[in-house]
Protein backbone atom coordinates (compact mmCIF):
# COMPACT_ATOMS: atom_id res chain seq x y z
CA UNK A 1 0.00 0.00 0.00
CA UNK A 2 1.01 3.56 -0.52
CA UNK A 3 2.71 5.15 2.51
CA UNK A 4 0.48 8.30 2.51
CA UNK A 5 -2.64 6.11 2.50
CA UNK A 6 -1.36 4.08 5.46
CA UNK A 7 -0.52 7.26 7.37
CA UNK A 8 -4.14 8.40 7.06
CA UNK A 9 -5.30 5.15 8.68
CA UNK A 10 -3.02 5.68 11.68
CA UNK A 11 -3.94 7.46 14.88
CA UNK A 12 -1.51 9.58 16.88
CA UNK A 13 -0.66 8.71 20.49
CA UNK A 14 1.64 10.11 23.14
CA UNK A 15 3.67 7.55 25.04
CA UNK A 16 5.01 8.43 28.49
CA UNK A 17 8.23 6.41 28.77
CA UNK A 18 10.39 5.96 31.88
CA UNK A 19 14.13 5.20 31.88
CA UNK A 20 16.44 4.51 34.82
CA UNK A 21 19.81 6.22 34.53
CA UNK A 22 22.57 4.11 36.05
CA UNK A 23 26.17 5.16 36.62
CA UNK A 24 28.72 2.59 37.76
CA UNK A 25 30.10 3.41 41.19
CA UNK A 26 27.41 6.01 41.94
CA UNK A 27 24.57 5.14 44.31
CA UNK A 28 21.85 7.55 43.28
CA UNK A 29 18.34 6.88 41.97
CA UNK A 30 17.90 8.87 38.78
CA UNK A 31 15.14 8.56 36.18
CA UNK A 32 14.21 10.25 32.93
CA UNK A 33 10.64 10.72 31.72
CA UNK A 34 10.04 11.13 28.00
CA UNK A 35 6.89 11.80 25.99
CA UNK A 36 7.08 10.47 22.44
CA UNK A 37 4.65 10.59 19.52
CA UNK A 38 3.61 7.18 18.23
CA UNK A 39 1.61 6.40 15.07
CA UNK A 40 -0.53 3.29 15.37
CA UNK A 41 -3.90 1.92 14.30
CA UNK A 42 -5.07 1.31 17.91
CA UNK A 43 -3.96 1.63 21.53
CA UNK A 44 -2.58 -1.91 21.78
CA UNK A 45 -0.39 -1.38 18.72
CA UNK A 46 0.69 1.99 20.16
CA UNK A 47 1.84 0.25 23.34
CA UNK A 48 3.82 -2.34 21.37
CA UNK A 49 5.43 0.36 19.20
CA UNK A 50 6.18 2.49 22.28
CA UNK A 51 8.07 -0.40 23.87
CA UNK A 52 10.01 -0.95 20.63
CA UNK A 53 11.00 2.73 20.41
CA UNK A 54 11.93 2.82 24.10
CA UNK A 55 14.12 -0.27 23.81
CA UNK A 56 15.84 1.12 20.69
CA UNK A 57 16.66 4.33 22.59
CA UNK A 58 18.44 2.55 25.46
CA UNK A 59 22.10 3.51 25.44
CA UNK A 60 25.38 3.26 27.31
CA UNK A 61 28.48 5.44 27.22
CA UNK A 62 31.63 6.07 29.23
CA UNK A 63 31.66 9.47 30.96
CA UNK A 64 34.71 11.73 31.40
CA UNK A 65 35.52 9.96 34.69
CA UNK A 66 35.64 6.53 33.03
CA UNK A 67 32.31 5.37 34.52
CA UNK A 68 29.73 3.46 32.50
CA UNK A 69 26.47 5.45 32.27
CA UNK A 70 23.37 3.76 30.88
CA UNK A 71 19.73 4.50 30.16
CA UNK A 72 17.61 1.41 30.87
CA UNK A 73 13.99 1.24 29.74
CA UNK A 74 11.68 0.70 32.73
CA UNK A 75 8.12 1.08 31.48
CA UNK A 76 5.56 2.80 29.31
CA UNK A 77 3.67 4.68 32.02
CA UNK A 78 0.80 5.95 29.88
CA UNK A 79 -0.59 5.96 26.33
CA UNK A 80 -3.02 8.66 25.23
CA UNK A 81 -4.58 9.24 21.83
CA UNK A 82 -4.03 12.85 20.75
CA UNK A 83 -5.51 15.11 18.11
CA UNK A 84 -2.77 16.85 16.15
CA UNK A 85 -4.96 19.74 15.07
CA UNK A 86 -3.49 23.24 15.22
CA UNK A 87 -3.43 24.39 18.84
CA UNK A 88 -4.22 20.98 20.31
CA UNK A 89 -3.09 20.49 23.93
CA UNK A 90 -0.41 17.82 24.25
CA UNK A 91 0.49 18.14 27.93
CA UNK A 92 -0.15 20.44 30.84
CA UNK A 93 0.97 20.60 34.45
CA UNK A 94 0.20 22.78 37.43
CA UNK A 95 2.94 23.47 39.96
CA UNK A 96 2.49 25.05 43.36
CA UNK A 97 5.23 27.31 44.61
CA UNK A 98 5.76 28.97 47.95
CA UNK A 99 5.72 32.74 47.44
CA UNK A 100 8.53 34.73 48.98
CA UNK A 101 7.11 37.84 50.63
CA UNK A 102 10.38 39.77 50.71
CA UNK A 103 13.66 38.78 49.09
CA UNK A 104 16.55 38.25 51.51
CA UNK A 105 18.51 41.17 50.03
CA UNK A 106 15.75 43.73 50.81
CA UNK A 107 16.83 46.43 53.27
Q: Encode pLDDT of 8-56 as tens digits.
A: 689 999 999 999 999 988 888 889 999 999 999 999 999 999 999 999 9
Mean pLDDT of the chain: 86
In total, how many domains does the chain have?
Answer: 1
Strand partners, 100: none
Taking the whole predicted model, whether its pTM rises above 0.75 is answered as no
Look at the chain and count its residues.
107
pLDDT above 90 for 86 = no
Strand partners, 65: none
Residue-range definition of the domain harbouring residue 69 = 3-82
- Between strands 30-40 and 59-62, the pairing is unpaired
Angle at alpha carbon of residue 43, lines to 42 and 44, rounded to 5°: 95
Express as a percent the part of the chain with pLDDT over 90: 60
In a domain, 78, yes or no: yes
In a domain, 34, yes or no: yes
Amino acid sequence: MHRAFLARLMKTYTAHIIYRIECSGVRMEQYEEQWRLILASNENEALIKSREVATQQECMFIDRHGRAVSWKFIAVKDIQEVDLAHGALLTSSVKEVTPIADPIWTE
